[in-house]
């Protein structure tokens, strides 16, 4: 088959991303902590998915709005906050981070947990988030670093569907500190720290089977190359070998991913 030359589009409503989202909650908590919220704050969760940041910010007393392109995940987030008794102080809106459906300066803070990094136009996404946060407000986001078992397994997938040209970024990416400084530097003071996040499951095989069946990105690759293809079988075997070789647990499955926590205090 001819490999596509552009990155694969992922429909985040497909599958069951809500099974993966809980594993990202510690990073959402790190974002909420970095925003140092007060009960009077209004917070935008950018690329909210199932509302990890929104839930924690609302539990801290803030009023929250979540925005995402994936309508099905917005419904999951709405139900989740309502079930937690936070329906009255939360709202979830369909929209793209490169064209946010909000007026200027409307939020005290914005956070994006591994979501803004997927925007096709990073400069535009960053400028939109800064536009909707008031002067002196805070912006925080997380971005994966290119290390660890899950990154390497993801690279196997990307290589299965994309040509070298499509997997090689033409410029720096969100995994490089200088990229965030370039994108946000004019808007305020940028502080970047490195963090880690553990992924756990009963076994590497069980983790991979679940992610292949339920995660939107894995499902997009499987659809693109066909689950009966040699390419898919090869990607599965290579991914499993990576996960097994980097497993940090002797009795189950545990691997660590590293990420950047990027905070920006906007100019007054
Ligand atoms: C890895 S998930 C993270 C979701 C959530 N922040 C969390 O903590 O689980 C990425 C999310 O970014 C959203 N997303 C990707 N590109 C987007 C865009 N251009 N505008 C808005 N949302 C986007 C996806 O729909 C998905 O919900």
Q: Could you read off the pLDDT of 172-218 as tens digits, one per residue?
A: 699 999 999 999 989 999 999 999 999 999 999 999 999 999 999 99
CB atoms within 10 A of CB 211: 23
Mean pLDDT confidence for 94-104:
98
Ligand 1 atom nearest to 73, measured from its CA: 27
Ligand 1 shell residues, CB under 6 Å: 12, 21, 24, 28, 47-50, 52, 68-70, 73, 96-98, 113-115, 118-119
Q: How far apart are CA 107 and CA 113, in angstroms?
A: 17
Q: How far apart are CA 90 and CA 58, in angstroms?
A: 7
Ligand 1: which of 74, 118, 120 to mutate, judged by most atoms within 8 Å of the beta carbon?
118
Q: Where are the domains of the chain?
A: 17-266
Look-up: residue for tokens 């983790």?
A: 207
Ligand 1 centroid from CA 231, angstroms? 27
Q: How far apart are CA 66 and CA 90, in angstroms?
A: 8
Q: How far apart are CA 110 and CA 11, in angstroms?
A: 23
Task: Pick the range with the lowest mean pLDDT from 207-216, 217-226, 256-265.
Answer: 217-226
pLDDT of residue 188: 97
Q: Could you read off the pLDDT of 11-60 as tens digits, one per residue?
A: 999 999 999 999 999 999 999 999 999 888 999 999 999 999 999 999 99
Ligand 1 centroid from CA 250, angstroms? 33
Going by C-alpha positions, the residue among 49, 107, 119, 98 that lies closest to residue 78 is 49
268 CB contacts (<8 Å, ≥6 apart)? 135, 136
Q: How far apart are CA 195 and CA 112, in angstroms?
A: 15
- Position 82 pLDDT exceeds 90: yes
pLDDT of residue 39: 85
241 in Cβ contact with 130 (< 8 Å): no
Domain range 17-266, its CATH number among 3.40.50.150, 2.60.40.1260, 2.60.120.10, 1.10.357.10:
3.40.50.150
DSSP bridge pairs for 139: 110, 264
pLDDT of residue 7: 57
Ligand 1 centroid from CA 111, angstroms? 12
């Amino acid at each position: 088959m001819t490999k596509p030359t552009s990155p694969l589009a992922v429909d985040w409503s497909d599958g069951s991303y809500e099974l993966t989202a809980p594993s990202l909650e510690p990073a959402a908590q790190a974002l909420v902590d970095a925003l140092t919220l007060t009960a009077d704050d209004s917070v935008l969760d950018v690329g909210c998915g199932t509302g990890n940041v929104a839930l924690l910010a609302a539990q801290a007393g803030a009023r929250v709005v979540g925005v995402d392109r994936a309508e099905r995940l917005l419904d999951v987030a709405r139900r989740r906050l309502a079930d937690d008794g936070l329906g009255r102080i939360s709202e979830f809106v369909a929209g793209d981070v490169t064209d946010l459906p909000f007026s200027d300066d409307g939020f005290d803070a914005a956070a994006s947990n591994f979501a803004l990094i997927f925007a096709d136009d990073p400069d535009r996404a960053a400028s939109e988030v800064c536009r909707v946060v008031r002067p002196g407000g805070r912006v925080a986001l997380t971005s994966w670093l290119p290390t660890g078992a899950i990154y390497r397994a993801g690279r196997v997938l990307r290589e299965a569907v994309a040509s070298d040209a499509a997997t090689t970024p033409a410029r720096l990416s969100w995994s490089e500190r200088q990229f965030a400084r370039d994108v946000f530097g004019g808007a305020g003071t940028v502080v970047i720290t490195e963090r880690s996040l553990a992924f756990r499951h009963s076994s590497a095989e069980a983790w991979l089977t679940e992610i292949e069946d339920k995660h939107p990105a894995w499902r997009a690759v499987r659809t693109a190359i066909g689950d009966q293809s040699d390419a898919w079988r090869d990607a599965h075997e290579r991914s499993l070998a990576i996960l097994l070789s980097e497993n940090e647990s002797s009795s189950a499955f545990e691997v660590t991913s590293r990420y950047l926590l990027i905070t920006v205090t906007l100019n007054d």
